[in-house]
Amino acid sequence: MTKQSKLIVSGKASKSGQAPVKTTIRILASIFLLTIGYESMVGAFHLMNLPSDRAVFEGTAVLILLVVVLPLLLYRLWRSL
């Protein structure tokens, strides 16, 4: 019996070989990041509805930043932890 199969049988690891606590932390951190991203997106759309040109540009910049940064953060979270 291999070490990984012993861990699976003993209930100390999931089928993928990762500890359940580590996966839970990743899921909770992902939910947190997605919630922050959603709130930022709502704020950006609010800025875009203001009558000022500057507010429209700021809202657009926030949306572009979210499109670039949020997937990178999620990728790094799931690859590094």
Query: What mean pLDDT value characterizes the chain?
Result: 86
Indicate whether 70 belongs to any domain: yes
Picking from 76, 48, 77, 73, the residue whose alpha carbon sits closest to that of residue 62 is: 48
Indicate whether 16 belongs to any domain: no
Average pLDDT (8-27) is 70
Range of the domain at 35: 28-81
Indicate whether 52 belongs to any domain: yes
Read off the pLDDT band of 1 (50, 70, 90): low
Indicate whether 54 belongs to any domain: yes
Indicate whether 13 belongs to any domain: no
pTM of the model: 0.72
* CB-CB contact of 20 with 14 (8 Å): yes
Q: How much of the chain exceeds pLDDT 70, in percent? A: 77
Indicate whether 8 belongs to any domain: no
Q: What is the domain count for the chain?
A: 1
Indicate whether 36 belongs to any domain: yes
Q: Tens of pLDDT along 29-73?
A: 999 999 999 999 999 999 999 999 999 999 999 999 999 999 999
